[in-house]
Structure 1
Amino acid sequence: MKTGTILSMLGGFAAGAIAGVFYAPEKGSETRKQILKKGEEYVDGVKTKFEEISNTVAEKFDSTKKGAEDLATTGMDKLDEVRKEVKSTVSEVKSEVKK
């Protein structure tokens, strides 16, 4: 899910929760408690989503890094193989030329 979508959903949730509390037929002290509670729930939700997004980004970074390392290792191995083949071919050509 995109970050903008998540933030929009959380913002809508917070606005709806606050609007609902303001229209509640309770005393001011109870309303303030409800606002505080909803605010804490909102903050907890944002923290949870932030942690989820952070973990996803970290996992993707690690995966990409590992893939790049594997690709570099494979490339170096192939380069070594080509060098050996070239040296072998050069040696064979030198032997044929000397004959």
Structure 2
Amino acid sequence: MSKKGNNNAGAVLAGLLAGAAAGVVLGMLYAPEEGKETRKKIRDKADDLANQAKDQYGQVTEKVKDQYNNISSQVKETTDKVVTSVKEGYDKYKTQAANTVAEVSKDIETELDGLK
């Protein structure tokens, strides 16, 4: 998930929670109840919203951790494949170069022996 996606999801979640809290508070303030009872309801609702926010935060955090672990694993696998490929290529061309040098060296010795 991109950082922009995380920011947008967080902003949407914060906006929803703030809107819900404002609606609950306004509804309770205009309800025809005693002030003490209204304050208790507001406090209870605020606690409920805080718990919901914590739950949502935990779920989002878990999803982000899972995605990070998946991406991290994919990067490690890809890196391992690239390193293996580079090593195999190096070994292959090193052997070919050594063989070519040996052949050229033999050819030079043969030519020099022919000139003697």
* TM superposition score normalised by structure 2: 0.65
Residues 49-96 of structure 1, C-alpha deviation per residue, up to 9 Å, x if partnerless? Answer: 1221122122112111111111111000001101111111122222xx
Q: 5+ unaligned residues in a row in structure 2: which ranges?
A: 21-47
Amino acid at match of 2:55: K
Residue equivalent to 2:79 = 57
Amino acid at match of 1:41: K
Residue equivalent to 1:90 = 112
Residue equivalent to 2:12 = 20
RMSD (CA atoms): 1.7
User: 4+ residue stretches of structure 1 with deviation over 6 A?
Assistant: none
Amino acid at match of 1:68: Y
Amino acid at match of 2:5: F
> Computing the radius of gyration over CA atoms, which structure comes out larger, 1 or 2?
2
Amino acid at match of 2:69: K
* TM superposition score normalised by structure 1: 0.75
Structure 1 residue 80 corresponds to structure 2 residue 102: yes
Take 1:27 and 1:73, find their aligned partners in 2: how far apart are those partners? 68
Take 2:93 and 2:50, find their aligned partners in 1: how far apart are those partners? 64
